[in-house]
Amino acid sequence: MHNTILPPNPIEELERNKALAERQLLSKKERRLLKHQQKEKEQFKHYRRKKLKKLLWLIVGILILGGAIFGGSRFLTTKLTASESAIIAKQGIHWHADLSIKILGEFQDIPAGIGLEKLPHKSIHTHDRDGVIHMEFSGLVKESDLRLGRFFEIWGREFNQDCILNKCSGIGGKVKMMVNGEESLQFENYVMQDSDKIGIIFE
């Protein structure tokens, strides 16, 4: 007895092909969906990194700006304080200081008219040969205006921690300065005050 092979049913074949096509179509949709989800995930990660980077730069900028403001304000405060402390008077002064110079036991002559030789007269000057230094300023007066070294510059004579007039520290002696009975190491940088008694000694 022979088995008879029946031809495929066209309707069933069509249904199988349709089901297979639907499965393939569904698989493609799933792959596209998965690919789309992955793309969105990468975009989100990129956006998040970019946002964090901007935030980091913003924080760094704020810290730098804050440091600059703090440092600048501190600098200006320090500078202002230093400038204010350097001001002696804002409406002028008329002070006097007594100066004596003794070299190897002999007092030196301090001429009259130092600073008054020509116009305009110097604010630091002498009137007589009594060693009185006159400090006559109008307006703003700063510490640098009253340095003892300024008087010697006007006089045209040398004075510093090593030399006085034509004598310099060495085998022959040493420069020493007394202010109001106490030794001072400021020498030419000393800021003169009213009624000072200043003695410069070389011995």
Task: Decide which of 165 and 72 is more confident.
Answer: 165
pLDDT at position 149: 96
State the pLDDT confidence band at 19, using cuts at 50, 70 and 90. Answer: low
The whole-number pLDDT of residue 8 equals 60
- How far apart are alpha carbons 121 and 108 in whole angstroms? 24
- Mean pLDDT on 134-146: 95
The mean of the pLDDT values for the chain is: 84
Label residue 148 exposed, middle or buried (CB < 10 Å: 0-12, 13-18, 19+).
Answer: buried
Per-residue pLDDT averaged across 154-172, rounded?
95
CA–CA separation, 190 vs 186, rounded Å? 5
pLDDT per residue as tens digits for the range 49-108: 878 888 888 898 898 887 777 666 566 555 544 455 599 999 999 999 999 999 999 999
From 51-65, 90-104, 122-136, 174-188, the region with the lowest mean pLDDT: 51-65
Residues 5-17 pLDDT 10s: 556 666 767 777 6
Per-range mean pLDDT, top range of 26-30, 71-75, 176-180:
176-180
Hey, how many other C-beta atoms are within 10 angstroms of the C-beta on 180? 11
The residue that leads in pLDDT, 33 or 105, is: 105
pLDDT score, position 188 = 97
pLDDT reported for residue 46:
76
Q: Would you say residue 171 has pLDDT above 50?
A: yes
Residue-level pLDDT at 101: 97
Q: How many whole angstroms separate alpha carbon 110 and alpha carbon 53?
A: 75
